Structure 1
């Protein structure tokens, strides 16, 4: 009996040891192949409009996971826990060649420089210029486009060529936004190209050619009704200058929705005044309907302090010059934590 018990104990010990080794191996593999990250942004906003804003708010609570399945094959997931939760991105990449990778899923629409940037990197608390937010469908300022967070569903090929002197992106996308099926039979063709002639400068160009399906009606373009398909084309041209003391980003954007033409321009500079401390200046112009001269200009001045890597405090003042409405002042503060 003792021999039987001893044999059972030996087998059990070997089983536990093997299970522990297997578990440790799985955990180590997951650590090597899965990267988790995230950030949150919260702050305060005040403006002196007739229906004034005076509120603390949480803008984003973002969680991201990147999985490296094989050397060539990876996947990505991004979720915003704010305002009830929203799936932002989920896609898979496969690299066929050093200069050719394919992507399938839901991801950023490759239009406009700021739309490719993370809100945790953009200097403006409002997260981008009026033109980017309007023409890329980032917020709900374009009622026809809706609030797609600058993302869509589709298929894309991209890569870097000539020792990263040239980068390209070419995609076929629904044109309807995130977390929803396409509402017409048309697809958007989206292109984005970056030329890096020197280490400190980049020149970019992008376009969208397609047909959208109107989410709502808009006073800016009253001829297009809700659920009606309409021609929606976009293009942009921009440049980024990066030096140790100064970063400058400028871009011209234009669009045509049906017969209505719109345009915008922004120039944002980030001056590193001293260690961890930046001065932000920005000029931001948007004309939603050139025939109606429906334009607004924003002048922004602010500061930001990086109190920990990727974590910052921001304070900004904005003067809004609105030709079709009242002018107003806006004061904003924001704290960002990221891991």
Structure 2
């Protein structure tokens, strides 16, 4: 009886050890292959052009999961839990060879420099420039499509060539935005090309050639709800990056059924002292309708109190053509892990 008890206890101990080793192996494998990250942005906004004119708000609550399947194959998931839960990105990448990778799923369209930037790094609290927000479909500024954060569903090849002298992206996408199927049989072709001749200078451009499916009416373009219409875009610009200062500038233009919209922006950042930066930006956008042009002038500060975490304060003067100007004051705190 005693021998049986000892044998049973020994077997149980060995089983526990094996289970613990298996659990440790699984945990270590997950730690090596799955990376969790995220960030939150909350702030206060005063805008004397709207009523009510001031409010605290939760702008974003982002969770990202980056999974490594093999050395060449990975997947990515990104969701925003602020306001209403929304799937932003879900795609898989495969590294075919040096300088050539493929991506399939839902991700940012490779149009404009700004749209490639994460909102956890971009300088402006109010997202991007007017032209980027509208022509890249970041917000609802383009009423013909639903604001989709500059993202779409499709297939893309991309990579860096000649020791990163050239960066390219070429995609075929629905053109309808996120979380919905295509509503016509035409696909958008989107291209992005960046030349990096030096460490401090990058120049390039991008384009969209496609057919949209109208989600609203646009009388100036003769477009009604449900109509398919030609939607083309292009952009060109430069990025200068120094040790204590940077400047990004771009010109964007789009044409919907013959109605042209265009704009430009220049956004700069200068380090005043370690961790404290001054931000300045100017952007102008012509919506393609008579009397619907606006210039924005932004000045502000941001303080990086911890890696990837910052406190921002910005003032924007909004000057619509033919109308009274308005003032926008914003503060925002960002925490990221």
Q: TM-score range by the shorter chain?
A: over 0.9
Which of 293, 300, 305 is matched with 2:303 structurally?
305
- The runs of 5 or more residues in structure 2 that have no matched partner are none
Q: Which residue of 2 aligns with 1:82?
A: 82
Greater Cα shift, 171-180 or 293-302: 293-302
- The corresponding residue for 2:233 is 234
Rounded to whole Å, the distance in 1 between the matches of 2:167 and 2:54 is 43
Distance 1:191 1:324 in 2: 36
**Structure 1 length as normaliser, TM-score?**
0.97
Cα pair 1:49 1:326 within 8 Å, conserved: no
Give 5+ residue unaligned stretches, structure 1: none
TM-score if structure 2 supplies the norm length? Answer: 0.97
Find out whether 1:56 has 2:56 as its counterpart: yes
Q: Deviations over 1:119-145 (max 9, x none)?
A: 011111101100000000000011002
Confirm whether residue 329 of structure 1 aligns to residue 327 of structure 2.
yes
How many aligned positions are there? 337
Match of 1:318 in 2: 316
Secondary structure (helix, strand or coil) at the match of 1:28 reads: helix
1:152-204 CA distance string (max 9 Å, x none): 00000001100011011000000000000100001000111111000011112
- How big is each residue's C-alpha offset from its partner over 1:203-257, in whole Å with a ceiling of 9 and x where there is no partner? 12100000011112246x4511111111000000011100112100000000001
Matches within 5 A, 1:179-198: 179-198=179-198
Corresponding residue of 1:128:
128
Contact 1:146 1:216 (8 Å CA) reproduced: no
**Aligned-residue offset at 1:3:** 2.3
User: For residue 296 of structure 1, what is the aligned residue in structure 2?
Assistant: 294
- After TM superposition, the structure 1 = structure 2 runs for residues 1-339 of structure 1, keeping only pairs within 5 Å, are 1-49=1-49, 51-218=51-218, 221=220, 223-289=222-288, 292=290, 294-339=292-337
CA deviation after TM superposition for structure 1 residue 50, in Å: 5.5
Offset at residue 7 of structure 1 (A): 2.1
Distance of 2:156 and 2:56 partners within structure 1: 39
Residue range with higher mean Cα deviation, 128-137 or 223-232: 223-232
Are 2:254 and 2:260, in contact at CA under 8 Å, matched by a contact in 1?
yes
CA contact (8 A) 2:194 2:205 kept: yes
The root-mean-square deviation of aligned C-alpha atoms, in Å, is 1.2
Looking at structure 2, the residues matched to 141 and 166 of structure 1 have their Cα atoms a distance apart, in angstroms, of: 32
The structural deviation recorded for 1:4 is 2.4
For the residue of structure 1 that corresponds to 2:185, the secondary structure is: coil
Residue 199 to residue 50, structure 1, CA distance change in 2 (3 Å): closer
SS in 2 for 1:56: strand
